[in-house]
Amino acid sequence: MASRGDHLFKGDKAFATGDGWLARLVAPAFKPVIDKLDARLERGGIHGILPDGTRREVGFNAPGHVATVHLQSYMALVRLALAGSVGWYKAWEKREWTSPDPVPLCALFMDNALSLGDTARAKGPLRWVNALAHRLRDNGLVKARENIAAHYDLGNDFYSPWLDPTMSYSSAIFEEGDDLETAQRRKVDALLDRLDLKEGDRLLEIGCGWGSLAIAAAQRGASVVGLTLSIEQKAWAEEKIAEAGLSDRIEIRLQDYRECDERFDAIASVEMVEAVGERWWPAYLDCIHRNLAPGGKAALQFISIDHRLFPAYRESADFIQAYIFPGGMLLDEPAFKTLAAERGMRWEDRHGFGVDYAETLKIWRERYDAAVAKGQLEGFSPRFHDLWRFYLMYCEGGFRGRGIDVAQVTLRREG
Tell me the residue range of the domain where 342 lies.
141-352+401-413
Cα(119)–Cα(263) distance, integer angstroms: 49
Domain of residue 347, CATH code: 3.40.50.150
pLDDT tens readout for residues 76-88 = 998 898 899 999 9
> Minimal CA–CA distance to 210: which of 225, 221, 226?
226
What pLDDT does 109 receive? 97
pLDDT tens readout for residues 313-330 = 999 899 999 999 999 999
> Are both 258 and 222 inside the same structural domain?
yes
Residue 207 lies in a domain: yes
Q: Bridge partners of 348?
A: 410
> Are both 87 and 184 inside the same structural domain?
no
Strands (E), 171-273: 202-206, 223-228, 250-254, 264-270
10 Å Cβ neighbour count for 177? Answer: 7
**Overall size of the chain counted in residues:** 415
Residue 362 lies in a domain: no
Q: Tell me which residues are annotated as active site.
A: 395
- Say what the pTM is: 0.95
Strands (E), 133-249: 202-206, 223-228
Q: Is the pLDDT of residue 23 over 70?
A: no
Q: Which residues contact 129 (CB under 8 A, 6 or more apart)?
A: 15, 16
Q: Pick from 91, 121, 151: which residue ends a domain? A: 121
Cα(276)–Cα(297) distance, integer angstroms: 21
Show the CA angle centred on residue 361, arms to residues 255 and 299, nearest 5°. 45
Residue 232 lies in a domain: yes
Residue 170 lies in a domain: yes
| Phi, psi for 23 (deg, rounded to 5) | -60, -40
Q: Bridge partners of 66?
A: 45
Q: Is the pLDDT of residue 22 over 80?
A: no
What pLDDT does 26 receive? 64
Return the C-alpha torsion angle 42, 46, 49, 50, nearest 10: -30
Q: Pick from 121, 151, 184: which residue ends a domain? A: 121
> Are both 250 and 283 inside the same structural domain?
yes
- The answer for 298, left when phi > 0, alpha when psi is -120 to 50, beta otherwise, is beta
Q: Is the pLDDT of residue 196 over 90?
A: yes
> Are both 311 and 228 inside the same structural domain?
yes
Structure confidence at residue 272 as a pLDDT band (50, 70, 90): very high
Cβ contact 4:379 at 8 Å = yes
Tally of domains within the chain:
2
What mean pLDDT is predicted for residues 345-351? Answer: 97
Cβ contact 408:173 at 8 Å = no
- Round to the nearest angstrom and report the end-to-end CA distance of the chain: 57
Handedness of CA 269, 272, 277, 280 (dihedral sign): negative
> Are both 46 and 85 inside the same structural domain?
yes
What pLDDT does 34 receive? 92
Residue 191 lies in a domain: yes
> Are both 179 and 101 inside the same structural domain?
no
> Are both 292 and 151 inside the same structural domain?
yes
Cβ contact 246:234 at 8 Å = no
Cβ contact 368:162 at 8 Å = yes
Cα(2)–Cα(289) distance, integer angstroms: 44
What pLDDT does 270 receive? 98
Say which DSSP state 166 is in: T
> Are both 228 and 257 inside the same structural domain?
yes
Q: Is the pLDDT of residue 61 over 70?
A: yes
Helix (H, G, I), strand (E, B) or coil at 101: coil
What pLDDT does 31 receive? 83
